[in-house]
Amino acid sequence: MNDWLLALHSSTETVGIALVSAQAPLSEARVLCRTMGRALTNALPSLLEEVLPTSEWSGIRRLAVATGPGGFTGTRLTVVLARTLAQQLQCPLDGLSSFALMAPRLQLELPAEQRGEPFSIVQVLPRRGRVAGRYQVRDGWNRDNATCAEMDLRELKVPVLLQAAEQPAPEVTMAVDVACDVLQLLRCCQDRHSRHASGPWDPVLPIYPTSPVGSV
């Protein structure tokens, strides 16, 4: 039986699952991306089985999950699944925000002189305001690989709801690319596995900058 590293991302209506052998390069990863919407509630276990049969789940050695911000139900489902698997399999779990995962590719939208400096990723929420996180990514990371090494990516501030007067700069607009971002998540999982980093499951929780049940 192989030892597996598994990444789960469902902060949008598209779910992403990425899997690689713990001994293999990231280029050999299996990636599944599928738009599910509300159907994800009942389909998530079967989607995971498409990538990794249930009989192989005991071989999972480390998990990583996108913690949002994103859709309430989708984010919650994968975080709960990841926490449950990590607890039952007694393996490490890494939680990373969906904004942190997109930071390396969005950094490339900045003017050349601003790359490598702190910047904000901003999402406009209809009728609720603006959510932003703050990031710093090593300039030139993309010359080395298609994904950014964990050591080259820093989340300076987790995504939160901005006050009306707050204007972070420089800023880029949040842009979803689940196929890229779930692979970035798997890269971080792989990096942490290689250095035997701790990964307790209990602190890994969804990020909800605004209340899922009404006014903030």
The reply to whether 8 and 93 lie within a common domain is: yes
Residue 57 lies in a domain: yes
CATH code of the domain in which 85 resides: 3.30.420.40
Residue 16's nearest CA partner among 44, 58, 38 is 44
Would you say residue 208 lies in a domain?
no
- Tell which residue, 70, 59, 96, has the closest CA to residue 187: 96
Mark whether 44 and 132 lie in a shared domain. Answer: no
How many domains, in total, are found in the chain?
2
Integer CA distances (angstroms), 34 to 18, 87, 178, 187, in order: 12, 26, 9, 20
Q: What per-residue confidence (pLDDT) applies to 211?
A: 63
Same domain assignment for residues 75 and 106: no
3-class secondary structure per residue, the chain? CCCEEEEEECCCCEEEEEEEECCCCHHHCEEEEEECHHHHHHHHHHHHHHHCCHHHHHHEEEEEEECCCCCHHHHHHHHHHHHHHHHHHCCCEEEECHHHHHHHHHHCCCCHHHCCCCEEEEEEECCCEEEEEEEEECCCHHHCCCCCCHHHEEEEEEEEECCCCCCCCCEEECCCCHHHHHHHHHHHHHHHHHCCCCCCCCCCCCCCCCCCCCCC
pLDDT of residue 9: 98
Residue 53 and residue 111 in one domain: no
In a domain, 205, yes or no: no
Residues 137 and 38 in one domain: no
Q: List phi, psi (to 5°) of 27.
A: -65, -15
In a domain, residue 72? The reply is yes
Q: What angle do CA 98, 100, 106 make, to 5 degrees?
A: 100
What's the confidence (pLDDT) of residue 215? 45
Domain match, 81 and 110 both: no
Token pair of 116, please? 């490598």
- Does 9 fall in a domain? yes
68 and 58 part of one domain:
yes
Does residue 213 lie in a domain region? Answer: no
Residues 23 and 87 in one domain: yes
Same domain assignment for residues 189 and 111: no
- Residue 19 sits in which domain range? 4-97+176-194
Q: Which residues of the chain have pLDDT under 50?
A: 215-216
pLDDT at residue number 216? 39
pLDDT in tens, 37-82: 888 888 999 999 999 999 999 999 999 999 999 888 889 999 999 9
Predicted TM-score (pTM) of the model is 0.94
Determine the pLDDT at residue 28: 97
pLDDT at site 212: 56
| Whether residue 93 is found in the same domain as residue 154 | no
199 located within any domain: no
Residue 75 shares a structural domain with residue 48: yes
10 shares its domain with 81:
yes
Q: Is 134 within a domain?
A: yes
